[in-house]
Structure 1
Amino acid sequence: MGPFEMVVAIIFIVTAGKIIQTKQKAKHGIVEDRDFMGTKTHRRLNSAETQQMQDEIKALKERIQVLERIATENSSAHDLNRQIEELRSR
């Protein structure tokens, strides 16, 4: 095995290790935070935080769907204004 193959093998092993590590952290609800100095901290999400994030993501997805529908429909200006106001009231 030449030097080029060794470098490629090392890069592959490191990349595969990082992918596996990230998957395991996500599976166990561990979040990695970085502050403005680049310091990493790990914390575990509790079920309340996880549920809150999932609810927020669901609400954002619903809003995106409505905005996509508004953007692609051929509606009157009055109808568009009504739909936008409905979104704001959520």
Structure 2
Amino acid sequence: MSGGQFMVVMIVAIVMFANIVKAKMGIRRRDVRGEFDMMGDASTAAENHRLKSEIADLRDRIQVLERVVTDNEGSLRLDREIEKLRGPRN
């Protein structure tokens, strides 16, 4: 076997070994973002969907909190409204 043939055989063996390792780990393919997509059953997929929607909800809540914290005029208006509700001080 010449050096070129040996290299081809080694490349094929490495690719086959990598595919076996990926199959054992449950890695199927890369998704749109380039991350590995894991194989799983229906309950895993449902849990992933639930977690993704929970993360989206948390991101929305963080955006609202950031807007409240950085909105100076709105916070001053809110402070004035709270003081009005408290009534006159003695």
TM-score higher than 0.5 = no
TM-score (norm 1): 0.39
Larger relative contact order (CA 8 Å, sep ≥ 6):
1
TM-score (norm 2): 0.39
